[in-house]
Structure 1
Amino acid sequence: MSTRRFIAADTDLTAAFVRVEGDLFRHMVKVLRLKIDTRVNLADGRGTECTGIIKEIGRDHLAIAVEERHAAAPSGGGPRITLIQGLPKGEKMELILQKGTELGVNEVVSFQAERSVSRIAADRRDDRLRRWRRIAEEAARQAGRPDIPAVRLTRGIAEAVRDSDHDLKLLLWEEERATTLKGAMAGRPAPANIAIIVGPEGGLTAAEAETARQAGFASVTLGKRILRTETAGIALLAILQYLYGDLGEGLPSGKGPVSPLTP
């Protein structure tokens, strides 16, 4: 039988015995009904994994005797990708986190756009972030990723782009008429890291787009095709993983110019 693998975020994997509590404990014991002497693999989502055997099951925890500890294998080739997402309505952010994690996004930065319908009160920000991080963790577990995307919530686009130092920075903007996605990427060397900005349902204002451009983002159009906010980032992630990552044949990072959107 293959060793079951779990992501144990915020768990110290450096001890001889690893204590597992909370949701992961309940999943392992109540749902999967794992027993004493079951061999399992744990990953902390930050690059460390360990393999061990369940030696104790209590009322609210289990203990694993570590047999082997090692660095986690990379989650895939290609660039690191940050999705900067204008806060959408309802539960759309959860869908974006789930599918973005499946497609290998490394960081999701949500920002309160001027046209965002949803508003998160200051006293609820921590709770919302905890929920989003749990969703990313669960999506990473189901996708078999050894790492968990970082998730941040910022108050506006200026804060979201302030520290962006990515090789390729793209702004999907419905008001852009001249520069296409294909044109913006033509002739560029394969980037080591990429950031993309997607607005909320109502799009970005001209002032927000200018803030992004001042931070080095190139505004691009997807032509006549109109995508919902929860679709646009996912679609672009798939395109970028095809061009530069491990979706299909992919292209290794830093290996010279590419011809966008060609086999």
Structure 2
Amino acid sequence: MQRYFVPENNWTEDYAAITSDDVHHIINVMRMDVGAEIICNHPRGKAALCEIIAVSKDQIDVKINKWLEETVELPINVTIVQGLPKGDKLEWVIQKGTELGAVEFIPFQAKRSIVKLDAKKAEKKLIRWQKIAKEASEQSHRTVIPTITPVKKLQEILDLRENYDVTLIAYEEEARSSNPVMLYDHLNNISKESKVLLCIGPEGGFSEEEIEAFKQNKFEFVRLGRRILRTETAASYFLSCVSFYFEEMR
């Protein structure tokens, strides 16, 4: 069933109003009309089965038939810090990471990031990234849309340390190490509802200065398997492991 995210101000006790681009999608793409049923997601993570009761050019009104009991979110809250990669790779990271359960993405202007965004380009990109996260959340039947922050610099990432229970660095040298820090060991020590931050470098990885800064601020290193992953693959690998460990093994 088609699912739409409705802003908090558009809800009353028994009704909700759908606006913006979703109106066009419902009318012109899905060809829905009065009487059709859809699922509307509340920003607080709740979902309701709704019936369309009125259709206009700019707004669709729905009646809440019942609230749904859904358990689709990961048992831990995962934030992905992604070093800015080339091309549209970050769009792919956000789309797949959303499908796999991340709650937040933080683009990071790493030393080895080839992409350099000025304020105007960064603002445009942020709008695009947020749209991708919304659409991926609807497609994967998430109950929340991940947050996408503006691009941050190294010190801003380091300052996040105290906001998380676990802060990890995906470091390619761990894959080559004879005594690596295993992902399983980290997951085994993470309790449900913990806030976890995973930092991933751009093409070429983190610089020596960045690695040293992470060490000084007590970020922990982790190996994501035995092979060296592309920057756009790392987040999906990590989130898949988290999903399997917490949702299937426990």
Structure 2 counterpart of 1:140, one-letter code: S
Question: Which structure 1 residue ranges, 5 or more long, are not aligned?
Answer: 252-263
* TM-fit CA distance, 1:109: 1.1
CA separation of 1:71 and 1:154: change in aligned 2, threshold 3 A: farther
Deviates more, 1:92-101 or 1:217-226: 217-226
Structure 1 residues 222, 62: closer, same or farther in 2, change over 3 A?
closer
Aligned AA for 2:165?
D
Q: 1:118 to 1:210 in 2, by over 3 A?
A: same
Equivalent residue letter for 1:156: K
Equivalent residue in structure 2 for 1:227, among 225, 229, 232: 229
Separation (CA, whole Å) in 2 of partners of 1:106 and 1:58: 33
Partner of 2:215: 213
Correspondence for 1:62: 60
Which whole-Å CA distance do the structure 1 matches of 2:26 and 2:228 have between them? 43
Residue equivalent to 1:168: 166
User: What is the distance in 2 between the residues matched to 1:186 and 1:136?
Assistant: 27
- The within-5 A match list for 1:34-113 is 34-68=32-66, 70=67, 73-113=70-110
Counterpart check, 1:153 vs 2:159: no
Q: 1:134 — aligned with what? A: 131
Letter in 1 for 2:215: R
TM-score for the superposition, normalised by structure 2: 0.86
**Aligned-pair CA distance for 1:10:** 3.0
CA shift, 1:157, in A, is: 2.4
Q: Does 1:180 align with 2:180?
A: yes
Q: Secondary structure at the match of 1:153?
A: coil
5+ long unaligned stretches in structure 2? none
Residue 39 of structure 1 aligns with an amino acid whose one-letter code is E
> What CA deviation, in whole Å up to 9, does each residue of 1:168-222 have, x standing for no partner?
3221123454652417826953332321111001211111112222332112345
Q: Taking structure 1 as the reference length, what is the TM-score of the superposition?
A: 0.82
Partners of 2:180 and 2:222 within 8 A in 1: yes
- RMSD between aligned residues: 2.4
How many angstroms does 1:86 deviate by? 0.4
Counterpart for residue 258 of structure 1: none
In structure 2, the residue matched to 1:257 is none
Could you report, residue by residue, the CA deviation over 1:14-69 in whole angstroms, capped at 9, with x for unpaired residues?
2244222222111111111001121222003432333332122112322223344x
The secondary structure found in structure 1 opposite 2:117 is coil
| Number of residue equivalences | 244
**Percent identity at matched positions?**
29
* Residues in 2 aligned to 1:210 and 1:9: alpha-carbon distance in whole angstroms: 43
Q: Counterpart of 2:44 in structure 1: which amino acid?
A: R
Amino acid at match of 1:82: T
Cα 1:208/1:64, change in 2 over 3 Å? same
User: Structure 1 residues 221-230 or 149-158, which shifts more?
Assistant: 221-230
After superposition, the Cα gap between the structure-2 partners of 1:96 and 1:20, relative to the gap in structure 1 and judged at 3 Å, is same
Change (3 A) 1:59 1:9: closer
- Within 1, Cα distance between the matches of 2:221 and 2:16? 48
More displaced, 93-102 or 177-186? 177-186
